[in-house]
Structure formats: structure tokens, C-alpha cells
Amino acid sequence: MKMIEESLKKKKVCVSCGETSFTEDYTRGENICTSCGLVASERITDRGPEWRAFTTEERNARARTGAPMTLTIADRGLSTTIDWRNKDASGRALTSNTRAAIYRMRKWHIRSRLHSSQHRNLGIAMSEMERLSSQLGIPRDVRETSALMYRKALTKKLVRGRSIESVVAASVYLACRIHRIPRRLDEVVAETNVSRKQIGYAVRLIVSQVNIDVPLASAKDLIPRLSSDLFLEGRTVQKATEIIKSAEEKFVTTGKDPGGIAGAALYIAGIIEKDRRTQREIANVSRVTEVTIRNRYKELVRVLGISISVDS
């Protein structure tokens, strides 16, 4: 037990490429690096059910727990509901006494459910968040984080005087940053009706007020996404990751657009590994211009002393 706790606490880093995200393959019991495919550890704990089910009915019949508690529903999925039918559990009609009692319970139950303005706010915000994050294709656990961010912002009274939508968008964006899922602010802005300025302001506000570390966007995080768009080969991707890593430690990549850095690294890696893409192709997927790719790649070559080999 102790060992399991320790291994959970320690953040795993891929020994091959330094990536920290892993896919757990339960059927094979392996931990696989999402970036380079390295099998990082075998014999992981299968946290799934110990039974098997082939149909939905079987699954429902065998499950012994209810829906998971979640932050993305305003009442955390913990509310009870009282049925509107005047029947008991076995389907018999209720006596008039019981019926009156149930009627009173129902009344208070409904009245107490959305009792505070915060709860009402959350209700609206969570449905908006659900819409936004599904539009952006954001996975479940990141949504939980963004819900948490929103709840923190709400309790700190940061939503007051600002539109719910802008704070929701900021929460989603920050959750992506925290989980190192590359979504740029512009992409989030595009799915909302709020101006970029307002969302940017909300983002900064939350970062300054809420006590959560938000890592800076790194060019490394963009590599998997860009390289799959470019259909690059594994070794090229790995090379690009190395380039960025040494660029980050050797030299300032700060203040530069991560897209430019990532694009330049992929360009160089492509040349070295003979898996070349044109500057235009790379510029398109990394959302910067060819000129920026050029500038960054010249800079990287100069600073890292990479010789673009003349052999071809």
C-alpha cells in the first residue's frame, strides 16, 4: 500500500523524451508515454471493475456504485430527486397521509435545491462550461480542473461584475495550461461570444487571486499535436523534442511564441532525420508565419551549434 501511494505521488517522467503524460493500457497492464510510445512501467493497477459485462443491462445489474461525484455538475451529482408519481417503490398507490407528506417534502426539496445565488450562478456556468469544453474537445479530467477553477473564482467573488462566460472561458483555458494540453487563448475565444480582451483579463485575474500554479505554455507541449498534423515519423518527433529541451535549458525561449519554437524545432528535426516538411506546411499547422519559423530556426541553429548537414 505504501509503495502504491509513493508511486502515485511521484510524477512520472518519460526517460526517453521527458514527457510527463502517459496512457494506461489496462488490458496489457502497461504505462505508455503519449509522446514517444515508450512503455514506461509494467504491472500497473487495474482500477476498473473486477467483473465483466457485455450489455448495458448487465453492467447496470453488476455495478455496485452510482455515478461518480463530479465538480462539473452544480450540486456535484450528489442531489437526490423525489419522484413525481404517487407510488411507492413496489408500484402501489400511496395512502392519502403519505401522499400529503411526500407532497410537502417535494415542495421543500425543490425550494432548497437552488437556494443561493452562487448555486444558480454555478448552474448556468457549468452548462456553459460543458458546451465550451465539448466544443474544444477537452477530456473529462481537464473539465474537472476547470470546474474547480471556476468554483474558486466564484468563492473569491471574482465573477461579480464580470460575465459568467468570460470567467468560464478563462477557467477552461487555465485548466488546459495546467494539464499541458495545448489550447491557445485564441481557440477558446473563437468559441465564445466574449472578446479576447475580457477573457485575457479574467485569466490574469484568476492567476493572481487563486492559489494554483499555472505552468507557462512550453513549445514541447505543442510537439505531439503539430507532428501528428504533419504526419512526421517518430524519430523526427523525438529529435524535435530534444532540440527544444536543449534550447530551453541552454538559452532563453521565454517571451517567444511557443508555436514558432515548436515549428522551428520540427523543421530542423525534419532536415536532420530526412523527414522534411516545407516551412509553409509547418507554418500553417503551428499558426505562425514562415518568416517566424525562419527566424526561430536560424536562431536555434546558431545558438545550439547544430550543423545542418550538407550530405543529402
Partner DNA sequence: AAGACGAAAGTGGTTGA
Partner DNA sequence: TCAACAACTTTCGTCTT
- 166 interacts with DNA by CB under 7 A: no
Among 37, 123, 200, 234, binds DNA (CB under 7 A): 200
Which among 127-135, 139-147, 228-236, 280-288 is the span making contact with DNA, rule CB under 7 A?
280-288
Residue 129 or 272: which CB sits closer to DNA?
272
Distances, alpha carbon 234 to alpha carbons 17, 114, 123, in Å? 11, 52, 44
Among 242, 257, 284, 304, binds DNA (CB under 7 A): 257
Which among 41-49, 74-82, 137-145, 289-297 is the span making contact with DNA, rule CB under 7 A?
289-297
State the residue for C-alpha cell 514558432.
Answer: 260
Among 197, 250, 274, 302, binds DNA (CB under 7 A): 197
- 292 interacts with DNA by CB under 7 A: yes
Among 255, 305, 309, 311, binds DNA (CB under 7 A): 255
Which among 57-65, 93-101, 208-216, 252-260 is the span making contact with DNA, rule CB under 7 A?
252-260
Among 70, 127, 135, 279, binds DNA (CB under 7 A): 279
Cα gap 116→106, rounded to integer Å: 18
Report helix angle 258-272 to 234-250, nearest 10: 130
- 289 interacts with DNA by CB under 7 A: yes
Residue 59 or 274: which CB sits closer to DNA?
274
Which among 41-49, 55-63, 95-103, 250-258 is the span making contact with DNA, rule CB under 7 A?
250-258
User: Could you give the count of Cα atoms lying within 13 Å of 57 in the half-sphere of its Cβ?
Assistant: 0
Calculate Rg over the CA atoms of the chain: 25
Residues touching DNA, count (CB under 7 A): 22
Cα gap 294→279, rounded to integer Å: 8
- 235 interacts with DNA by CB under 7 A: no
* Least distance to DNA, CB of residue 167, Å: 18
Residue 241 or 253: which CB sits closer to DNA?
253
Contacts to DNA by CB under 7 A: 196-197, 200, 255-257, 260, 276, 278-280, 287-292, 294-298
